[in-house]
Structure 1
Amino acid sequence: MQNIQKFMCIYMYKLEEDLMNHKDELIKVSFQSDEANTDRPLKEYLKQHIEKSFSSIPEDTDITSLCFEGDTFTDLQAIKQIRVNRVLLPEDISDELKETIKASKSSVYTNPDLYLELKLDNELSYESIELKSTKNDSIPGSSIQQIVPEEWVIFIKHTGKNISITTGQYIHAINSKMQFPDRSPRPQVSFKAMSGWNKDNRIVKSNALCYEKDDDDNNKRALISDWQDVLSKRWIDVLFNATSTKANEPWFNNNMRKFILSFLAKYENLTDAEKKEFKERVESLILSDTE
């Protein structure tokens, strides 16, 4: 792991603790919608709070080592020197920095909710943070082409006078639910999913902060990398394994049943040569770019 990655693992964990100690301030923040990426007051509060009160890993931190998916790091002196130099809001990001963001990710570019400018020995580096908020639990996430699995997230659940906060990487907020899309799909993200992942896989023991691998990560990465294949397998499962309909079943399930019967009626009347030609033609039309 690079020093910046190690820094973010500990910094975001301690930031979560710090924000929980400032719940009274966060409760007063205006949440204008159920997605934090439109919440201007929350962005402004976090910018001010981080720059003035939490620009580094606390000197008195109880974390003396970091474990990440089997690797252990005990020399944390360098990362403790890293400072948050600035917190940039979307309008603060220059064209030059936008090019830096584009170069660092294979997904479609979007402005980060918060962009941390990190400084170590007069060298600058940058990390983006996604903000999510909800009154209940699950909300639509980012468009699947925009998802960066390792991007850090601050997830806030606010209900009346109560507020809960969890932090982590985007992939651990995905709850694997994805409705049939009318455009680019948006896998749900869930406060419960992220906080549950943290409870099971982000463990502090003997002053070591440990992130342990989750077997479900591969399923989520498959969803992000080839969502069309994932949806196709789900539809096949509906057609072959369903023996009865469910209450409030998606309309598309019924449409698939009608489609497959119409398709089979036509396909079964083809000759073997026509079936072969049909399959090869359909395969040739599948785009390599799944967008």
Structure 2
Amino acid sequence: MHTPEILLLGGPDSGKTHFAGQLYGRLKRNPGLLELRDTPADLTALEEVLHCLENGHAAEHTSAGTWTDVLLPLRDNHGNELDLRWPDYGGEQLLTIFTERQVTEAWRSQLRLADGWLLLIRLKKETTYPDALKELANRSSDGNGTTARAGNWDGNARWVELLQILLHVAGQSTVAHLEQPRLAVLLSCYDELAVDDLLPSQVLAKNLPLVSAFIDSIWKPSAISIWGLSALGCLLEKNSDNENFINQGPEHQGWVVNPDGHKDADLSRPLAWLLGVE
């Protein structure tokens, strides 16, 4: 049986750590389309995140140099068994790929094997420059003749450039529309955005139009889905003491907004879509 490989792509402060912990809590205590079929071998990192949330405060972010694989043995609601490898790494590694144009062997292997990419973008943290030409001139150097850091790039340009690098390393041609790897984009911390009645795809197009257009030009429509994600449902701080999380349990907090705009408490739905479980 083929073992599905999903690659999680998220920069620093993208909500990746909390989503991983909350997903594990859902699978363990409040499953939806997917559930755990066995006890995973080593879930120390996810247990630590869940423990923080159970006490009503935010978890520590994954350190920059971390790379570990978490194996989640899953079963869908039709009895089909899946093994999901969930990579846990510091989000700064994506920025390093972008700035240094180099990919480690661990990343190269994951990119080439992955059946699906799960891309987390926190729009509130993305900087864009409407007057692009003026800003590009101002940001062409840092005053010492060196290239500006990744954090100074327009979010549109940075994500498009990074996706092109990742596709190249994965051996994917951009001549024809891609069917593999499937791409699910999660607009993380969705609760902090003013989205009105827009669909998640429209929210992405409004905030990062070049990223939206690039994705539409590379992937087949059937191989893309755009979701809103609020892994916690609200803002938690490291020193907060949120009674809802303590009293109700983190497994009853957080939600996704489906591509059609409907809110759903099942955080596993984007993964289920990537794995072809409907």
The answer to whether the superposition gives a TM-score over 0.5 is no
Higher-Rg member (1/2): 1
More helix by share: 1
Calculate the TM-score normalised by the size of structure 1: 0.26
Higher relative contact order (CA 8 A, sep 6+): 2
Calculate the TM-score normalised by the size of structure 2: 0.27
